[in-house]
């Protein structure tokens, strides 16, 4: 290596050391940037995190950045903490154009502050932290599909009662819609499970393995009675729904005839949409998730929660008793 090469190497090393030094000074200056003071409630929350939760200063600074944005949003829209609603928080979170993982962290920081306002300071009257949920809860891959009121009206007005199959399909659709029964549950109903005098039906075969007795709406009783006395083949078999040959109707065939009836009404739906619609109706009248679980015949609460993806607003009301 010649003298010139050594000189150039030395100069390059000096340039690198100068750059490294300036970078360290820049980082040091950033750490010493002036502390922007937020209103007392925020500062008290930071102290709470430091002393009660033992969160490090660097973590608190991350929390502060998010809450500074939150405070500025409240200021710009003249929203007080005492009048805070979930819609305000939804709109605020919607303004962040960041990766999902980052948004999850932001939501976590905001949720922590909301818990503090509710549980520690009693500034807000409802636990809004529990309502601030994101994609994992609402963006379900396959949310249950259901029929809207106008679609239901279209379906029932299109049903015919001309043949024995028509009358049978009419009765099965009523059972699926008014009781939320699966095709396999309907296929296992026997004449002994129905009490026309009491207006009840007992479902013996459920996933929960627990028999359930449900009230029968008048229109559903009429539909079943019409089938039993006018269209059901004469036989000693106790199964309620039979083929024209007199053998028990299989669930897949039952689901197929219900789907065909929907296609005739120009609806691209299946028999299970009626079950989902039943769940939607339970939500609409204010049934809680545990009541819905029992009435749907679910084994676990997770299965029932799928039906709450249908409507974010209603989900919040049912799960958290939150009036929006």
For the chain, give every domain's residue range: 34-138, 149-320
Distance CA 173, CA 186 (A): 10
Which tokens sit at 10? Answer: 């030395």
Number of neighbours of residue 282 by Cβ within 10 angstroms:
20
Name every residue whose Cβ is closer than 8 Å to that of residue 239 and which is 6 or more positions away in sequence: 187, 188, 189, 190, 191, 248, 249
CA distances from 86 to 81, 121, 209 (A): 11, 18, 39
Sheet holding 200-203, edge to edge: 194-195, 200-203, 212-215
The kind and range of the H/E element at 39 are: none
Task: Write down the pTM of the prediction.
Answer: 0.54
Return the pLDDT at 41.
96
Q: Is the dihedral of CA 137, 139, 141, 147 positive or negative?
A: positive
Per-residue model confidence as pLDDT tens digits over 48-81 = 998 887 788 889 999 999 999 999 999 999 999 9
Return the pLDDT at 14.
47
What is the arithmetic mean of pLDDT over 20-24?
51
Distance CA 37, CA 311 (A): 40
Distance CA 6, CA 24 (A): 27
Q: Are 198 and 279 in contact (CB under 8 A)?
A: no
Distance CA 219, CA 241 (A): 18
Q: Are 176 and 274 in contact (CB under 8 A)?
A: yes
26-35, 163-172, 220-229: segment of lowest average pLDDT: 26-35
Location of structure tokens 């013996």: 204
* DSSP structural state of residue 148: -
Tell which residue, 179, 161, 181, 182, has the closest CA to residue 261: 161
Location of structure tokens 């709470």: 48
Torsion region of 290: left, alpha or beta (phi above 0 gives left; psi -120 to 50 gives alpha): alpha
* CATH fold for domain 34-138: DNA polymerase; domain 1 (1.10.150)
Tell me how far the alpha carbon of residue 17 is from its chain's centroid. 56
Per-residue model confidence as pLDDT tens digits over 133-190 = 664 444 444 556 889 899 999 999 999 999 999 999 999 999 999 999 999 999 999 9
Per-residue model confidence as pLDDT tens digits over 196-211 = 999 999 988 776 667 8
CATH 1.10.443.10 fits 149-320, yes or no: yes
What is the arithmetic mean of pLDDT over 24-44?
66
Which own/partner pairs from 222-229 qualify as long-range (CB within 8 Å, at least 24 positions apart)?
A: 223/170, 223/171, 223/174, 223/175, 224/171, 224/174, 224/175, 224/194, 225/196, 226/161, 226/167, 226/170, 226/171, 227/167, 227/168, 227/170, 227/171, 228/191
Distance CA 322, CA 316 (A): 6
Return the pLDDT at 10.
45
Tell which residue, 208, 184, 204, has the closest CA to residue 194: 204
Number of neighbours of residue 271 by Cβ within 10 angstroms:
23
* DSSP structural state of residue 297: T
Per-residue model confidence as pLDDT tens digits over 246-301 = 999 999 999 999 999 999 999 999 999 999 899 888 877 878 878 888 888 887 77
């Amino acid at each position: 290596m010649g003298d010139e090469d050594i000189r150039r190497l030395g100069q390059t090393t000096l340039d690198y050391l100068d750059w490294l030094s300036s970078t360290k000074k820049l980082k040091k200056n950033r750490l010493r940037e002036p502390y922007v003071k937020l209103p007392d409630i925020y500062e008290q929350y930071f102290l709470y995190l430091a002393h009660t939760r033992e969160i490090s200063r660097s973590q608190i600074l991350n929390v502060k950045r998010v809450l500074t944005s939150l405070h500025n949003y409240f200021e710009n829209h003249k929203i007080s903490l005492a009048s805070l609603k979930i819609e305000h928080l939804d709109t605020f979170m919607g303004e962040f154009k960041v990766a999902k993982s980052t948004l999850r962290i932001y939501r976590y920081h905001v949720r922590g502050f909301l818990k503090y306002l509710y549980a520690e300071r009693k500034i807000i009257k409802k636990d809004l932290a529990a309502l601030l949920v994101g994609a994992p809860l609402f963006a379900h891959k396959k949310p249950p599909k259901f029929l809207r009121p106008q679609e239901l009206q279209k379906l029932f007005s299109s049903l015919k009662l001309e043949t024995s199959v028509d009358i049978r399909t009419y009765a099965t659709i009523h059972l699926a819609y008014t009781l939320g029964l699966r095709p396999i549950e309907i296929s296992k109903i026997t004449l002994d499970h129905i009490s026309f005098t009491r207006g009840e039906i007992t479902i013996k075969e459920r996933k929960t393995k627990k028999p359930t007795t449900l009230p029968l709406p008048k229109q559903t009783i009429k539909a079943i009675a019409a089938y039993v006395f006018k269209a059901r083949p004469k036989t000693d078999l106790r199964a309620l729904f039979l083929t024209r040959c007199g053998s028990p109707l299989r669930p897949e065939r039952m689901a197929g005839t219900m789907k065909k009836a929907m296609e005739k009404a120009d609806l691209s739906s299946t028999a299970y949409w009626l079950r989902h619609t039943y769940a939607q109706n339970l939500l609409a009248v204010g049934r809680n998730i545990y009541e819905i679980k029992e009435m749907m015949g679910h084994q676990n609460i997770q299965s029932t929660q799928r039906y709450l993806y249908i409507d974010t607003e209603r989900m919040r009301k049912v799960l958290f008793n939150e009036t929006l």
